[in-house]
């Protein structure tokens, strides 16, 4: 531990459970008290009792409005009249915009140009002025701080302010009051505001509770800080809501003091988690909101037999992106496949192949021939067949039947 960390470790944390209790009283009536429910299917699948906190049921479909409202309610009248500014990939933006409009506070939001369009339009729909700048959160953040000075606005940080942290901590109060048997919480970390608030509340209510942070593998900023690592921090992640390159100055103190561990999850696990939540719980969750389940899927042996709480932090996912995630998951499970079959270019060739698909009760969705751009002999062609099967075993039976009929077959895999 370096000298700065030792000094920070000796200082009291700037948010206490009393601050979180006060925040709950302050925002009560304007925030949805979302349910915490056990998932019987996930519990059986993963070998532990899995409790889900449905923060995607907030009006703006994310927990972020808790902290935003707590901060807005404590502005003085001059600041309210002048207006506030924030930087956000979407959910903080919507929370500020929605509650700012309710309270009559002008709101400006700087968003990365890569923010899903659904988050941009929803933020504008709540009455905020949206400025899109830069590809990453850090670019948008720097521009927002510049506009703060130029326009005399009050900057409201998405995660690194005590009032924001206290507001987010109300999630933890509700979870442990509704499901006191929870002995482990897995909490997504981007900048660390949610973890800081929930961990503060949870440690006060249940000192022996296990607190695990989770980050997308492409953005391991808090992981790097906690572990003393130097992993690359960049890329196009499904979990753009936690794609933060620098942990907060305040929040890193909470994570360092309170976290039992910080885990990383791959993009493939994030996709799987989003798909499973829709299939099993019939609930739409964005990539960042599925990070807790992705960690449970990736490290299930660490949580065997425990009572695990997961926060579905938000549901603001672009519909086209969601469709891609679901289709890719179908392909990985074998229910959707694309096969490349080598044929001789002669009458009846396609008929004979199609007959095998019929015999195996496989539905053909799309066909594509290739005669020109191929290294096959002039009398050969490749046929790409997109098809729908019941499961991986059904697909394998089809491939075996095609091989037995003398066809060369190769599945086109999804990464």
pLDDT at 8 over 70: no
- Residue 302 CA to residue 46 CA, distance in Å, equals 11
Q: Which of 304, 289, 285 is nearest to 50 (CA)?
A: 304
- Residue 85 CA to residue 388 CA, distance in Å, equals 49
pLDDT at 4 over 60: no
Q: Contact, 245 vs 221, CB < 8 A?
A: yes
Which helix (H) or strand (E) segment holds residue 64: the answer is helix 64-72
pTM comes to 0.88
- Residue 315 CA to residue 285 CA, distance in Å, equals 4
Give the strands of the sheet with 408-411, arranged side by side: 363-370, 380-388, 336-344, 408-411
Q: Which of 184, 181, 193 is nearest to 222 (CA)?
A: 193
Domain with CATH 3.30.70.260 in the chain: 334-411
Residue 202: count other Cβ atoms within 10 Å of its Cβ: 26
- Residue 243 CA to residue 216 CA, distance in Å, equals 7
Using a 10 angstrom Cβ sphere, with 0-12 exposed, 13-18 middle and 19 or more buried, the burial of residue 144 is buried
Question: For 334-411, CATH number?
Answer: 3.30.70.260
Query: Which H, E and C letters describe 114-161, residue by residue?
Result: CCCHHHHHHHHHCCCEEEECCCCHHHHHHHHHHHHHHHCCEECCCCCC
Per-residue pLDDT band for 3 (boundaries 50, 70, 90) equals very low
Kindly tell me the number of DSSP H helices and DSSP E strands found in the chain.
17, 14
pLDDT at 200 over 50: yes
The fold adopted by the segment(s) 84-152 is Rossmann fold (3.40.50)
pLDDT at 354 over 50: yes
pLDDT tens track for 114-125: 877 877 888 899
Of residues 52 and 6, more confidence is placed in: 52
Q: 3-state DSSP call for residue 255?
A: helix
pLDDT tens track for 26-75: 999 999 999 999 999 999 999 999 999 999 999 999 999 999 999 999 99
Average pLDDT rounded to a whole number, residues 139-150 = 94
Lookup: tokens for 229: 């690592």
- Residue 324 CA to residue 341 CA, distance in Å, equals 25
pLDDT tens track for 203-259: 999 999 999 999 999 999 999 999 999 999 999 899 988 988 888 999 999 999 999
Lookup: tokens for 103: 């309270």
Of residues 346 and 15, more confidence is placed in: 15
- Residue 16 CA to residue 13 CA, distance in Å, equals 7
pLDDT tens track for 376-411: 554 567 889 999 999 999 999 999 999 999 999 988
Lookup: tokens for 171: 């999630």
Residue recorded with tokens 């207006």: 83
Which helix (H) or strand (E) segment holds residue 163: the answer is helix 162-178
Instruction: Report residue 22: phi and psi, to 5°.
Output: -65, -40
Sequence-distant contacts of 121-124: CB under 8 A, at least 24 apart: 122/60, 122/90, 122/94, 122/316, 123/90, 123/93, 123/94, 123/97, 124/97
Instruction: Report residue 156: phi and psi, to 5°.
Output: -115, 110
Angle between helical axes of 349-359 and 392-404 (0-180°, round to 10) = 140
Which helix (H) or strand (E) segment holds residue 365: the answer is strand 363-370
CATH class held by domain 13-62+162-327: alpha beta
Average pLDDT rounded to a whole number, residues 364-371 = 81
Domain with CATH 3.40.50.1100 in the chain: 13-62+162-327, 84-152
- Residue 44 CA to residue 293 CA, distance in Å, equals 14
Q: 3-state DSSP call for residue 218?
A: coil
Beta 84-87 vs 154-155: how paired, if at all?
Answer: parallel
Residue 133: count other Cβ atoms within 10 Å of its Cβ: 17
Percent with pLDDT over 70 in the chain: 95
- Residue 139 CA to residue 123 CA, distance in Å, equals 19
Q: 3-state DSSP call for residue 328?
A: helix
Residue 121: count other Cβ atoms within 10 Å of its Cβ: 10
Calculate the alpha carbon distances from 7 to 2, 12, 248 in Å: 9, 10, 16
- Residue 105 CA to residue 68 CA, distance in Å, equals 12
- Residue 166 CA to residue 66 CA, distance in Å, equals 9
Per-residue pLDDT band for 1 (boundaries 50, 70, 90) equals very low
């Amino acid at each position: 531990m370096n000298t700065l960390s030792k000094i920070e470790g000796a200082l009291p944390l700037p948010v206490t459970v009393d601050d979180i209790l006060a925040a709950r009283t302050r925002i009560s009536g304007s925030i949805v008290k979302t349910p915490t429910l056990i998932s019987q299917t996930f519990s059986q699948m993963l070998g532990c009792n899995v409790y889900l906190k449905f923060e995607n049921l907030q009006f703006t479909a994310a927990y972020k409005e808790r902290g935003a409202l707590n901060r807005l309610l404590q502005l003085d009248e001059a600041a309210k009249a002048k207006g506030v500014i924030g930087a956000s990939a979407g959910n903080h933006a919507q929370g500020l915009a929605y509650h700012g409009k309710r309270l009559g506070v002008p709101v400006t939001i700087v968003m990365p140009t890569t923010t899903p369009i659904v988050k941009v339009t929803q933020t504008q729909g709540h009455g905020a002025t949206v400025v899109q700048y830069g590809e990453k959160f850090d670019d948008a953040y720097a521009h927002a701080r510049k506009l703060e000075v130029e326009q005399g606005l009050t900057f409201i940080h998405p995660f690194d302010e005590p009032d924001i942290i206290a507001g987010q901590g109300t999630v933890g109060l509700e979870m442990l009051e509704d499901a006191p048997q929870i002995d482990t919480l897995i909490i997504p970390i981007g900048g660390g505001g949610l973890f800081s608030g929930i961990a503060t509340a949870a440690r006060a209510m249940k000192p022996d509770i296990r607190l695990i942070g989770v980050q997308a593998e492409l953005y391991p900023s808090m992981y790097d800080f906690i572990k003393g690592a130097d992993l690359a921090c960049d890329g196009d992640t499904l979990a753009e809501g936690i794609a933060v390159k620098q942990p907060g100055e305040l929040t890193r103190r909470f994570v360092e003091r309170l976290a039992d561990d910080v885990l990383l999850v791959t993009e493939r696990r994030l996709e799987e988690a989003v798909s499973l939540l829709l299939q099993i719980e019939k609930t739409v969750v964005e990539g960042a909101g599925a990070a807790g389940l992705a960690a449970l899927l990736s490290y299930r042996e660490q949580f065997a037999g425990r009572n695990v709480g997961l926060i579905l932090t938000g549901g603001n996912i672009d519909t086209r992106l969601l469709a891609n995630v679901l289709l890719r998951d179908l392909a990985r499970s074998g229910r959707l496949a694309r096969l490349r079959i080598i044929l001789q270019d002669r009458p009846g060739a396609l008929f004979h192949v199609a007959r095998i698909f019929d015999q195996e009760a496989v539905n053909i969705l799309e066909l594509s021939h290739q005669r020109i751009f191929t290294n096959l002999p002039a009398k050969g062609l490749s046929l790409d067949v997109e098809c729908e099967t019941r499961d991986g075993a059904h697909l394998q039976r089809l491939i075996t039947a095609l091989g037995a009929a003398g066809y060369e077959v190769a599945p086109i895999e999804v990464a």
